[in-house]
Amino acid sequence: MSESFRYGATARISVALLLCCAWFEAAGAETIASAYTSAAEKDCRTIGKPDNDSSTQSCPGKDGLIVLVNEGDLRETVSVGRTIREAAKEPAAQTWFGPFNSAGKTVEWRMADGKPFAIIQRWQIADNDDQGTKGPKDKPMLVVTRLPPGPVCHVAYVDAAANPNANELARQAADESARSFACGKDKVKVVGTRGRAIDLARP
């Protein structure tokens, strides 16, 4: 058997093994995608009796999860759980921003093989130092929140005005960090360029 024949056979076997490994790797890779739900009042259920200063809404989410939106003193918190009681006990339910703020009505769910692991919402943070004709102007920020199993808490903030690719940055942060993020131990990440919304949310 010639050296060239042996070399060619070895090369063909090596290529075949590489292709085989690549196929198995692709077959085992998860599929990550986005799905969307609404947190608009018309699509949610009011919990208890709202008053002029506060209200609580339960909104249907994905995979049996609900989104709990609580408003008080012109500030909101958003949490997620299997039940209203579970969602209300999560760290996210106790996390709010100092300035007046509101969460967007569209909830983006990051899903791995159909199972949600994070949500992304666009928030508006009021800037008292930038007054318009109707009061403080709002500054937009994307909030990435991790989901069960494990605690529900904020993972990353992306300034939506300072980053033209804010949505992509938020999805990347969710995909790379949400599932391994340790609530209460890891520090919430500021992703991308820091802008005014981040300064307001994290003075």
pLDDT value for 26? 44
CA 26 to chain centre: 25
How much is the pLDDT for 202? 84
Residue 19's pLDDT is 53
Classified as helix, coil or strand, 144 is: strand
pLDDT value of position 24: 40
Q: Which of 72, 19, 27 is nearest to 48 (CA)?
A: 72
**From CA 30, how far away is CA 116, in angstroms rounded?**
12
Q: Is 7 helix (H, G, I), strand (E, B) or coil?
A: helix
End-to-end CA distance of the chain: 75
CB 119 within 8 A of CB 80: yes
Q: Which pLDDT value is given to residue 122?
A: 98
The predicted structure's pLDDT at residue 7: 45
pLDDT value of residue 27? 44
Mean pLDDT by 10 residues, the chain (203 residues): 50 51 54 97 90 89 98 95 98 95 97 97 96 91 97 98 98 98 97 97 82
